Amino acid sequence: MDQTQNQAKIKEFLSRFFKNHDLQPEEDIFALGFVNSLLAMQLVAFVEKEFGIQVADEDLDLDNFRSIRAISSLIDRKTGAPA
Amino acid sequence: MNLELTAGQRQKRSEYRAFAAAEIAPHAGRWDREEKIPAELVGKLREQGYLGSLLSRELGGGRTDMITYGLLTEEVARACSSVRSLLTVHDMVAHAIQRWGSRELKDRYLPSMARGELLGALALSEPNAGSDAKSVETTATEDGDSWVIEGRKKWTTFGQIAGLFLVFAQVTDKPAAFLVERETPGLTVKPLRGITGTRASMLAELFFEGCRIPKGHLVGRVGFGISHVAAAALEQGRYSVAWGSVGIAQACLDACRSYAADRRQFGVPLADHQLVRRMLTDMIVDVRAARLLCLRAGGLRESGDPGAFMETMAAKYFASRVAVRAANDAVQIHGANGISEDYPVNRYLRDAKVMEIIEGSTQIQQITIPLFEFQEF
């Protein structure tokens, strides 16, 4: 699955939480103010289930989850996909 | 989602039920009065593989599936909620380490936790911090290759016998989680007695005074102690408590079934009185509904579905309230016998009330569940 497909899936998931907002790949989801601890854990579960990766302790960095592109990059690194 | 048990799950349930009936239920009243469970029982739980049963086989655990784990929790709680508490807190800590611990911490602690040789306990609550977990006052300060912990924890379930504590503390106002071994200098464990329910769960207060632990005992990263590490532990705890609440409610139903059939008033068995029958009906239906919610949450957790968080919370919320309702009615059906120590229903009522307080109170669930429901538009 390429980055474009990954980003589309991430956007589809996040868009459920950002009503009436066309979330852009670089947009800071924390700055938008909708991320709480409920979404934080669901986001980890979504990424793991959807992309078959294991988010580990060293990945606990807000910058890894700050935007669609950041999450996509994390997935690429975890799966060893070319950047 | 298929909510029917497999043949293997039914077989395990029979095994759990037989163990609980033989080794736990006959003694639960005495343990409740003595406010402790014996070391021999912990040994038997260990031999059966009931401690750390969610951990993977590579680590020495049984890695039961989520539904089977729920059945174990229900059957143990049906006999004794205090013993269920031991499984709950041990698995909460093991789950948090497995989820967010470093490779080093996993290798060091999880194999012995999977074998049940090392018991885990969660040190989150404090005298001034309960539901508002982010406001814990315990601190951790970096000092060379160590963290130095200062502060006090309260209501630590099985703190009296645990060998490893998952401790939550502030690092310059950012929450973080740490593993502290029982024998660490600077940690003092004081038994806490006289609680209303789950009286044999061997609560403790923990005092940290210059308690120095290795740098590598940080679980997860600083700033993620509550949002991810505690959240993972509490989510596991809620799942366990939800099933445990079903166990209490089922125990109430069991007790009332025989009592209402045998006890006669006004010339007929209690069960022939319509108002008693109404209470029995509520109990019967509530137990079924709560169990179904637990099964659904378990199915989602097993598949790693993000929706599991909401469903687990809903199951815990409903099941804990069911347990209180069922126990309250069970005492009522038993009349004066219900408030004596000669019948277990008074213990069930005291234990059930605890279910509404731990791992997120009923009121916290009432605040949070609508947030889950309405976060998706």
pLDDT in tens, B190-232: 999 999 999 999 999 999 999 999 999 999 999 999 999 999 9
Using the beta-carbon criterion (under 8 Å), do A41 and B375 form an inter-chain contact? Answer: no
Using the beta-carbon criterion (under 8 Å), do B306 and A43 form an inter-chain contact? Answer: yes
With cut-offs at 50, 70 and 90, classify the pLDDT of residue B377: very low
With cut-offs at 50, 70 and 90, classify the pLDDT of residue B376: low
Selecting from A19, A48, A57 the residue whose C-beta is nearest the C-beta of B100 gives A57
> Closest Cα to residue B100, out of B187, B223, B243?
B223
pLDDT value of position B2: 83
Selecting from B305, B308, B375 the residue whose C-beta is nearest the C-beta of A39 gives B375
Q: Distance from first CA to last CA of chain A, Å, rounded?
A: 13
Contact B181, B163 (CB under 8 A): yes
Residues A3-18, mean pLDDT to the nearest whole number = 88
Using the beta-carbon criterion (under 8 Å), do B231 and A41 form an inter-chain contact? Answer: yes
Mutate to test the interface with B, among A49, A60, A64 (most CBs of B within 10 A): A60
Residue B64 to residue B301: CA distance in whole angstroms? 13
Reported as a single tens digit per residue, the pLDDT across A27-82 is 998 888 767 777 888 999 999 999 999 999 999 999 999 999 999 999 999 998 76
Indicate whether this model's pTM tops 0.90: yes
B63 Ramachandran zone, left/alpha/beta (phi>0; psi -120 to 50) = left
Give yes or no for B306 touching A (CB within 8 A): yes
Q: Is B359 a catalytic residue?
A: yes
Residue B110 to residue B307: CA distance in whole angstroms? 27
pLDDT value of position A82: 62
Mutate to test the interface with A, among B66, B100, B312 (most CBs of A within 10 A): B100
Residues B331-344, mean pLDDT to the nearest whole number = 96
Structure tokens at B169: 């503390």
**Exposed / middle / buried, residue B149 (Cβ in 10 Å: 0-12, 13-18, 19+):** buried
Using the beta-carbon criterion (under 8 Å), do A40 and B227 form an inter-chain contact? Answer: yes
In three-state secondary structure terms, B148 is strand
Compute the count of residue pairs across chains A and B with CB atoms less than 8 Å apart. 56
With cut-offs at 50, 70 and 90, classify the pLDDT of residue A19: confident
Provide φ and ψ at B2, rounded to 5°.
Answer: -85, 120
> Closest Cα to residue B333, out of B266, B278, B291?
B278
pLDDT at B324 over 50: yes
- Report CA A45 to chain centroid distance, whole Å: 10
> Comparing B233 with A21, which gets the higher pLDDT?
B233
DSSP assignment string, B57-87: GGGT-----HHHHHHHHHHHHHH-HHHHHHH
Q: Specify the DSSP class assigned to residue B38.
A: -
Structure tokens at B42: 């912990």
With cut-offs at 50, 70 and 90, classify the pLDDT of residue B35: very high
> A12-21, B135-144, B279-288: lowest mean pLDDT where?
A12-21
Provide the CB-side half-sphere exposure for B71 (13 A, CA).
Answer: 22
